[in-house]
Amino acid sequence: MLLELKDLEVGYSKKIVVHGLSMGIDQGEIVALIGHNGAGKTTTLKCILGLLQPTRGKIIYKGGDITGYSPADKVRHGISFLPQERFIFPELSVRENLDIGAYTVEDDAESTIERIYQLFPILNERARQRSSTLSGGERRMLGLGMILLTKPQLLLLDEPSLGLAPVLVKSFMEMLKNIREEFGTSILLVEQNVKQAMEIARRVYVMKMGRIILEENASTLLQRDEWWDLF
């Protein structure tokens, strides 16, 4: 198991958002986490990265307990997170955004950024423009490019298809599959667009009111009908 969450409990001030959550991801796996708004999916991702501290439970990564680690440390251990919104630096240019992404890259950030330009040619075109001028889809690409630069072994993505046109979503998901194939990256994908998520995921966790209510293989889950009941 690359990542294991054990009995995680997370809350903000009075509100407990995630209760007794246990789940796991294997090396090179794509796992989807689905559920209604407010089910606690974003909170779970933020907790894994360390932007929120759990009140109970453990996070085990590559066999070691990383529960108390700061986000900066977790990034250096190979965990990366793309938030749902506010994931770029609007006042900085596209290239400068990528430079920040490459912050933890020791040497040869230049060629690493080149590879991102190959993945997302549009970013190369707009390299000098302020990133606030990018469209929604372009911003998502920039965001993904930035966190790919951290050379993650575990990618945490929070609704990456939000606001993207359907045709873009498809190519985006294809890209995630390619990243997994080429780099062996594991991906934990939070999505509301259930179908797209399950087409690239191997396993799915369903969350409701802060708890996991179902764990199944994506292919099996796709056969189901009662979506509304799950949410």
Partner 1 sequence: MDYVIHLIILVLLYSIVAVSLNLLVGYIGLLSVGHAAFFGIGAFGSGLLAYYLKVHFLWGMLFGAVIAILAGVLVSIPALRVKDEFLVLLTIGFNMVVFGFLVTQQDLTGGRWGKFGIPVLSFFGISLSTPAKALPVIFVFSAVCFAISWRLTHSPFGRVLKAIRDDENAARSLGKNILKFKVLVFIIGAGMAAIAGSLWAHYHAYVEPRAFTVAESMFLLALVVIGGSANLWGSVLAAFLLITIPEVLTFIPGAETGMVPISAVRVAIYGALMVAFMRFRPKGLLPEHRAILTKNNMYVPIPAEERDKILQLDGTLSSPSSNGNKLVAPLQVEGVSKYFGGLKAVDNIAFSLPEGKITALIGPNGAGKTTIFNLITGFLKSDGGTISLRGLNITNQPPHRINHLGLVRSFQEVRVFSNMPVLDNVLVACGRQRGEQLGWLFLRPWKVAQDERENRYRAMAYLDIFGLAERAKILASELAFAEQKLLMLACLLATRANVLLIDELVSGIDPGSIDRVMSLVRQLKNLGKTICIIEHNIDVVKNVADMAYFLSEGKVIAVGTPSELMANPELTKIYFGV
Partner 2 sequence: MGILLAQLAVNGVIFGALYALLGLSWNIIYGTTSIFHFAHALIFVVAAYAAVLVTMNIGLPLVVGFMAAIIAGVSLGWVIELSIYRPLRKLGASQTIIFGASLGTLILGEAIAHIVFKPFPRRLLGFSIQPINIGDITFTTLHAGTVILSVLVILAVGQYLRRTKSGKAIRAVGSNAEMAEALGIRRERIFLLVFAIGSGVGAIAGVLHTLDSVANPYMGIPLVFPAFIVTFVGGVGSISGVVVGGLLLGLAENVSLAWLDKDYTIMISFAILLAVIILRPRGLFGSKRD
Contacting positions for partner 1 (CB under 8 A) = 14-17, 19, 36-39, 159, 162-163, 192-197, 208-209, 222, 227-229, 231
State which residue, 72 or 213, has the beta carbon closest to partner 1.
Answer: 213
With both helix axes pointing from N to C terminus, report the angle between 136-148 and 109-119 in degrees, rounded to the nearest 10.
140
Which entry of partner 2, partner 1, none binds 103, CB below 5 to 8 A by partner kind? partner 2
Mark residues 141-180: x for contact with partner 2 by CB under 8 A, - for none: -----xx--x------------------------------
Which of 152, 193, 164 is closest to 34 using CA atoms? 193
Report the site for partner 2 in 70-89 (rule: CB under 8 A). 70-72, 75-76, 80-81, 83, 86-89
State which residue, 124 or 193, has the beta carbon closest to partner 1.
Answer: 193
Q: Assess 90 for contact with partner 2 (CB under 8 A).
A: yes
Q: Assess 132 for contact with partner 2 (CB under 8 A).
A: yes
Q: Going by C-beta distance under 8 Å and a sequence separation of 6 or more, which residues neighbour residue 30?
A: 176, 177, 180, 186, 187, 189, 200, 201, 202
Q: Assess 119 for contact with partner 2 (CB under 8 A).
A: no
Mark residues 24-63: x for contact with partner 2 by CB under 8 A, - for none: -------------------------x-x------------
| Cβ density class 96-133: b for 16+ within 10 Å, e for less | ebbbebbeebeeebeebbeebbebbeebeebeeeebee
Q: Going by C-beta distance under 8 Å and a sequence separation of 6 or more, which residues neighbour residue 141?
A: 120, 122, 123
What residues pair up with 208 in beta bridges, in sequence order?
A: 211
Shortest distance, position 101 Cβ to partner 2, whole Å: 6
Residues binding partner 2 (CB under 8 A): 49, 51, 70-72, 75-76, 80-81, 83, 86-92, 96, 99-101, 103-104, 132, 146-147, 150
